[in-house]
Amino acid sequence: MTGSPRYAIYFAAGADNALSRFGAELLGYDAYTGDEVPFPQDALHVAPDWRDITADPRKYGFHGTLKAPMALVSDKTEAELTAACATFAAKAGRMPVVRPVVDSISGFIAVIPAEPVDALQQLAADCVREFDSFRPPLTDEGRARRKPEKLSERQREYLDGWGYPYVMEEFRFHMTLTGRLDAERRGPILEMLRARFATLKLDTLAIDRITLFMQDDAKARFRIIGEWKLAAAS
């Protein structure tokens, strides 16, 4: 083992969902099963180095972040986190629905909402607050890894307060498909990914569950160890 396990509260669409299969094929990894998945031929055709392009998101599995990866504080257990996930889902009171598109965000390509959805922003903020008691304090080393000198003042405040800079107003939901790409490479890859995504005919996407991912140690990939459907408001 290299370090302690880490946990993350993500959205994943379900093991049998076409969107999950779409993401697993492109990343070459299925976080539900832990299995390697062959890359699509059209991805390899447009980018023979597709394995390298997708190396970073492959480690995390196909997901949308709600609460960023964290080790557990010393007085909390995985069983307690699992119970907290079930409790949160049962009282969520919202099930956001977005119009998904494939686009570039901060230099990488992801499935993102076509327009902001307030209920999704609120769900993510609720997750950040609800599960923060499981997160140990941010270390100096952990803070330095986030390169605070490159963050805005508000992002630095969120990093210090919540252990992650892209929360609350700074949160942008995305399900990552590639690492960062130079602009000259991004165009053909974006075109290919949009064409593949169009075959799903996915006009709406319900953010209808929270999914607990676990990473055994720093060298391991994240895998799914539980998921809970959100209870919509009555």
Core vs surface per residue 129-153: b (16+ CB within 10 A) or e: ebbbebbeebeeeeeeebeeeebee
Q: What is the pLDDT of residues 168-227, one digit of tens each?
A: 999 999 999 999 999 889 999 999 999 999 999 999 999 999 999 999 998 999 999 999
Which residues, 6 or more positions from 184, have their beta carbon under 8 angstroms from its beta carbon? none
Core vs surface per residue 105-122: b (16+ CB within 10 A) or e: eeebbbbbbeeebeebbe
| DSSP 8-state class, residue 107 | T
CATH 3.90.1140.10 corresponds to the domain 6-229 = yes
Q: What is the pLDDT of residues 36-57, one digit of tens each?
A: 999 999 999 999 999 999 999 9
Residue 5: pLDDT band with limits 50, 70, 90: very high
Q: If DSSP codes are grouped into helix, strand and coil, which group holds residue 148?
A: helix
pTM attached to this predicted model: 0.93
pLDDT at 1 (0 to 100) = 38
pLDDT at 138 (0 to 100) = 86
pLDDT exceeds cutoff 90 at 233: no
The owner of tokens 């950040």 is 128
Task: Return the C-alpha torsion angle 65, 68, 69, 72, nearest 10.
Answer: -130
Q: Which residues pair with 175 in a beta bridge?
A: 64, 111
Which residues, 6 or more positions from 84, have their beta carbon under 8 angstroms from its beta carbon? 130, 131, 134
Q: How many whole angstroms separate alpha carbon 16 and alpha carbon 215?
A: 22
